Structure 1
């Protein structure tokens, strides 16, 4: 009798116990060049990687937020109905997380506003997948989200006004400098400098901008003398002058020029990785049981943009 079931040589199924006491089969998502378009949809990936539940993990929040931003800004017209529903579930969970913790309010306001603009731009043509009724429902839902975030911001401002504790502006200059130099985005540094004249002077210090350039554009941050600069920085300097004088560089201007040319380095507390043996996707901090356990396991990080490119 021919064997029509699963190959007996395949690895066995793994079952895990859930919070309610039941058992479920461990979900494995394998993406190869041949299976991306045939077997794996975006909703399958979100379910397998537990994206909705991962929002509550602060180490994964910014990574998921970036994936969501790329999806609705560039791929919204290509998403199926299930993918749209999964995307809204993620955003709703992100809103709940912001309401509970009070963190990332500005980020969520920017995400919801951009998402609202992307959907509203389709009105009244609805060239995206879905009916007119579906898109009107989306717009109403996003409008409620915007109102919720605004209310949270208003409540936080009221609390801050009633709070008599010291603010960031009252810290010593050295402490302010240490906080600002740990920011990884020049736009945030510029925004802090707009608060008052004292913070403006701190935000204009070339030492802060030099470290930011070295961090994002292949500089040797371990070299205290900064005698070794990355190729991207050196390329920009050569365009401006023949003799490169590291002591006479406008690092703030250089940062924004390099940002336009090369983009910023993507750094997240935890990323999705892909096993190089079985091609499975998994969170960096989770346990991955590779079926090829006799070989040395290896994996590579998957950036949010690369993940979206693989799936849509």
Structure 2
């Protein structure tokens, strides 16, 4: 039954037509505020107060709240496009795009598809400009090529979705491919170069890598890196970073350990997998009181901070509970995908 008036059942949303299609007015206004804030920051004219991108979501549907979360709205409210430029959030955004770009993307709404391609275009522009994290972008590019080929597959002689929508997607995809073709990773004229540093300094850099794939790639560059990566200390520290002492001790007791920490790391990885939360410098968090998603470093306007009475009740109950980390796989569970 269509809504004939604004009542407790109606969302009461106002929509505005833009060049990219119809947008919710409140989401559009929020995006303009964030864009204005970022422009002021870049020009050195930051306004008073800190804008905190956040988005309240529906955790559980009830009779009173028969709601759902719209992926494109949440992405815009959390300012994902500008988050690409933050080195702490880049890997998180790429991991999310990696889960979505592919066959699953054809099942998303048109607005969500446009939002994701806009994020991917932002990733392409950022990598082409900064020359940082090209490996993550190439992985996304391979999935995008597969998606572009799948788009040409026909059901009853036409691609999934409207022809106009996919024509717009094709223009965006071709633009991303063009950026990728023009991208050249050139060696910066920095002094000294990495391999000119003392071996002790190179070792300290290697010890701060949290991804085993980066260690393996580093070992293939030169003999010096290969010798450092083969040291037991490097794999021991990586093992302690990803696994608890209890897990390590259980593996030591179970396996006949001969001092090979690389073998032990691979064994633990097969058994427990890698802790997803430890792979990102910055993650989304979920407030247990406001039901808001927010970036951990930026915070959000929480009821626990704004209401003295609520804060007092929390103190009597044992203090406020920390927000829950939300890795990319958990983030997608908030949507009907």
Per the normalisation by structure 2, the TM-score is 0.71
> Kindly tell me: are residues 140 and 235 of structure 1, through their superposed partners in 2, closer, same or farther at Cα, counting changes over 3 Å?
farther
Equivalent residue for 1:184?
210
Cα distance change, pair 83–200 in 1 and its aligned pair in 2 (3 A): same
Q: Which residue of 1 aligns with 2:252?
A: 237
Counterpart among 134, 145, 151 of residue 182 in structure 2: 151
The change in CA–CA distance for 1:78 and 1:96 in structure 2 (over 3 A counts) is: same
TM-superposition CA deviations, 1:5-27 (whole Å, max 9, x none): 78xxxxxx9x9994389xx9x97
Alignment of 1:248-259 (within 5 A): 248-259=258-269
Call closer, same or farther: CA 1:164–1:104 in 2, change over 3 Å.
closer
Aligned to 2:262, the other structure's residue is in SS state helix
Distance 1:128 1:181 in 2: 49
Alignment RMSD (CA, Å): 3.3
1:277 match: 289
Equivalent in the alignment of 1:225: none
TM-score, length-scaled by structure 1: 0.76
Q: C-alpha distance in 2, partners of 1:180/1:164?
A: 19
SS across alignment from 1:282: strand
Q: Aligned in 2, Cα 1:37/1:143: closer, same or farther, shift over 3 Å?
A: farther
Matched ranges for 1:20-99 at <5 A: 28-34=55-61, 38-73=67-102, 75-99=104-128
> Which runs of 5 or more residues in structure 2 are unaligned?
1-5, 9-25, 41-50, 315-319
Cα deviation digits, residues 226-250 of structure 1 (max 9, x gap): xxxx32x334334433xxx5xx321
Could you tell me how far 1:91 is from its partner in structure 2?
A: 0.9
Q: Number of residue pairs matched?
A: 278
Q: Distance in 2 between matches of 1:278 and 1:33?
A: 13
Which ranges of structure 1 fall in alignment gaps of 5 or more residues?
7-12, 220-229
Cα contact 2:284–2:294 (8 A) shared by 1: yes
CA 1:27 to 1:216, structure 2 compared with 1: closer, same or farther past 3 Å?
A: closer
User: Deviation at 1:178?
Assistant: 0.8
Partners of 1:130 and 1:265 in 2: CA distance: 37
SS at match of 1:39: coil
